[in-house]
Amino acid sequence: MAVTEAAVRADARPSAGLGIHRAPLIGLMALVLVFLWRMAAHAITVVNMRSFPGEQLYFVGGAIGLFGCALIWIGMKRDELGATLLGYMGGAFIWMGWFETAFHGFSESLAIPTLMSNGVPALTPGLLLMESTAVILLANLVFLGANKETRCRMFLWFHRHFRLRPNKPTPGYRRQFARITAIETVFVSWFMYIAIILAFDPRVLGFRHPVTMGLFYGVIAWGLYLTFFKLVKYRAMAGAVRYAIPTGGILWLAVEMAAAWRWYPEIWVKPYEYPLTNVAILVAFAALMALVARAPERGERSEADAAAVAAARR
């Protein structure tokens, strides 16, 4: 399907909706939504681990993952925005319920010891097990990047600059936004975890290594660039949410690193010490999600999405 200049202009036309559903607020709302969920997800995970000891946690995690699958399946038949939001939450619940619970459970069953550095715990058993999946993650990224229908900015950048185009996209191909967004959510979470684990692993870099410090400031600069030079230009909420997932993941990497250095208390991993704050975060997320869901539809492709695909096909 050719992307014409007229199609891009048509998608950029304003449509009905609340006054806040326009650039640059659309992009900023999507980014805040991703950040609020990151905080809420941490708190929910801590509550689950304390409330369901032993094998109970694995049954609960399995149920949470199945719920995520149901959301994705429902989203497969929704319009672009509904599919994107359901895919995002579905992928988030799959990561929380299946991935994180599995890493925690298998690390315990395998009796993996905590990695120590100078007598201080550096990485938990669950994180060490997750670190071992780095090669699996890399292989999957290669497979995903070889998809000729992809519109992922990172993959398109590699296709364009390294002449790795797998083939021309299928004419008339319609994207499955719920599935795409769920995959993006899982892989962004997975990639960011691997990145921070490798940075903090004393056998690779370590907490105070100059490269780790450089990574911290680098991801801040990269995340701010994506936010204020890319994300704020979005005029369609669905596209903004999908772009905010990796953008938020990059910026959240800096948040996690600063917390590990004890620059501030991680309130979202202490729901029993800060119950009102964590409830407020969850309520704010739910309210913003409802507001985002009311944004007007703008068709399958946002202006930024269309421009990126058109550039990749030149």
Q: Tens digit of pLDDT per residue, the chain (314 long)? A: 333 333 333 334 444 456 778 889 999 999 999 999 999 999 999 999 999 988 899 999 999 999 999 999 999 999 999 999 999 999 999 999 999 999 999 999 999 999 998 888 899 999 999 999 999 999 999 999 998 888 888 888 888 888 887 888 888 888 999 999 999 999 999 999 999 999 999 999 998 899 999 999 999 999 999 999 999 999 999 999 999 999 999 999 999 999 989 999 999 999 999 999 999 999 999 999 999 999 987 644 444 455 554 554 45
Whether 2 maps to a domain, the answer reads no
Sign of the dihedral defined by the CA atoms of residues 3, 172, 231, 6, in that order:
positive
Give the whole-angstrom CA distance, residue 250 versus residue 91.
17
The amino acid sitting at 2 is A
| Residue-level pLDDT at 310 | 53
Q: Give domain status of residue 128, yes or no.
A: yes
CB 251 within 8 A of CB 10: no
Instruction: Answer for the pair 95, 189: CB distance below 8 angstroms, yes or no.
Output: yes
Going from the C-alpha of 266 to that of each of 131, 148, 260, the distances in angstroms are: 22, 41, 9
- Is position 11 within any domain? no
Count of structural domains, the chain: 1
Report if residue 153 sits inside a domain.
yes
Is residue 77 a part of any domain in this protein? yes
Q: Which domain holds residue 110?
A: 21-166+174-312
Is 263 among the domain residues? yes
| CA 187 centroid distance within chain | 7
Structure pTM? Answer: 0.88
